[in-house]
Amino acid sequence: MSPKRHLFLLAFAVLIFQGCGVDEDVVNIYSGRHYQVDENLFREFTEQTGIRVNLVKADTDQLLNRLEMEGANTPADLLITADAGRLVTASAKGLLQPIHSEMVDDLVPAEHRDPDNRWTAMTMRARVIVYHKDRVSPDDLSTYEALADPAWQDRVLVRSSQNHYNQTLMASIIAALGREDAEAWATGLVGNMARSPRGNDRDQVKAIVAGLGDVAIVNTYYMGLLRYSTNPEERRVAEQTRIFFPNQDGRGTHVNYSGIGLTKASGNIENATRLIEFMISRDAQQRLAEVNHEYPVNKEVEWPGLLRSWGNFKADELPLDQLEPYLQDAMFVFNSAGWN
């Protein structure tokens, strides 16, 4: 869908919201997530509570721009993103307010929440190295930084710098290495790319199996989507590739959150809070983990079998709310390195 059509549909949906006025039996969501499991859970929430869910899906940056333009008149009660960096940005722009929920405080560890409770993680996904099981040994892999070594020339696959996951990853690398070293790493990685960045994470894994490269930087849950795809070719791709968690002897693997924030101008705070609590409840978290292969943030929910099969790993403990100063630097680094 073209950006113009996205904006038109978003504006149209907003007009519908505004025409309805404040309704005590509704909660309005702006969501940058595009997963069927989310919509199924929203329907179940309505069935259980009688609270209707109005959902607008669009690119997260478009939703942030819309929230800024609408200000106090926004119909949105909740902002859901697939990337914590956008929640951090929304918080810094003053678009969110604290979530007051004992349930969230009890079930979601503090490191998975904004320190001022303006947002909470809903799921986690690790950004890992995926490799061809026959052409690469896990002994050859170590860190994100090592992918810039000459040994990986013409072997690395990764999506565009315009992707939110890569932007937040780069912000974490700048935080760890400093901008100068991060720039040197990005330049080396670009030099090792097997092709110009294109497609989504699944496309990078498919390109490995097609012989275009040997390793890719990918979010873990995409490997689950490939493994359980209805398309036999995608299942074959999953069978020929494996996951490696980088930086295990150092700061740990970069972990990003898909999260949810309460808008500052929400007119349905009670309903919105109930939906947040529903999404971090045991049943919803198990569903998100089993269907979308994301790591649960509810500390009482066990990982399903597939996630356990990937193994335990050390995660980078840098709080994502501290990455906000580095997100703009990340774009300068990408541009300087020629990472399109």
pLDDT at 214: 98
pLDDT at 321: 86
pLDDT at 23: 53
Residues in the chain with pLDDT values less than 50: 1-9, 11-16, 18-22
pLDDT at 111: 93
pLDDT at 14: 47
List beta partners, residue 54. Answer: 28
Phi, psi of 324 (to 5 degrees): -55, -45
Q: Give the span between the Cα atoms of 307 and 294, in whole angstroms.
A: 8
Residues 6+ apart with CB under 8 A from 139: none
Task: Using alpha carbons, list the distances in angstroms from residue 115 to 124, 156, 162, 283.
Answer: 17, 36, 27, 26
Q: Give residue 97's identity as a one-letter amino acid code.
A: Q
Task: Using alpha carbons, list the distances in angstroms from residue 81 to 208, 212, 292, 299, 334.
Answer: 28, 31, 15, 21, 22
pLDDT at 320: 87
pTM of the model: 0.91
In terms of Cβ atoms closer than 10 Å to its own Cβ (0-12, 13-18, 19+), residue 265 is middle
Residue 198 — left, alpha, or beta (φ > 0 → left; ψ -120 to 50 → alpha)? beta
3-state SS, one letter per residue, for 103-171: HHHHHCCHHHECCCCCEEEEEEEEEEEEEECCCCCHHHCCCCHHHHCHHHCCCEECCCCCCHHHHHHHH
Structure tokens at 115: 């320190």
Task: Using alpha carbons, list the distances in angstroms from residue 32 to 38, 59, 124, 257, 328.
Answer: 11, 5, 15, 13, 20
The beta-carbon contacts of 90-95 under 8 Å, at least 24 apart in sequence, are: 90/64, 90/119, 90/261, 91/116, 91/118, 91/119, 91/261, 91/321, 92/324, 93/64, 93/68, 94/264, 95/64, 95/67, 95/68, 95/261, 95/263, 95/264
Look up residue 56 and give its DSSP letter. Answer: E
Instruction: Round the CA-based radius of gyration of the chain to a whole number and report it.
Output: 20
List beta partners, residue 218. Answer: 128
In terms of Cβ atoms closer than 10 Å to its own Cβ (0-12, 13-18, 19+), residue 312 is exposed
> Following CA atoms 181, 152, 315, 172 in sequence, which dihedral angle do they give, to the nearest 10 degrees?
30
Domains of the chain: 3-124+257-302 (3.40.190.10), 125-253+320-337 (3.40.190.10)
Which secondary-structure segment (H or E) carries 243? strand 241-244
CB count within 10 Å of CB 313 equals 17
Q: Give the span between the Cα atoms of 129 and 15, in whole angstroms.
A: 43
Which secondary-structure segment (H or E) carries 313? none
pLDDT at 17: 52
Quick: pLDDT tens for 260-303: 999 999 999 999 999 999 999 999 999 999 999 999 999 999 99
Nearest CA to 300 out of 147, 29, 109, 139 is that of 109
Nearest CA to 236 out of 247, 244, 228, 248 is that of 228
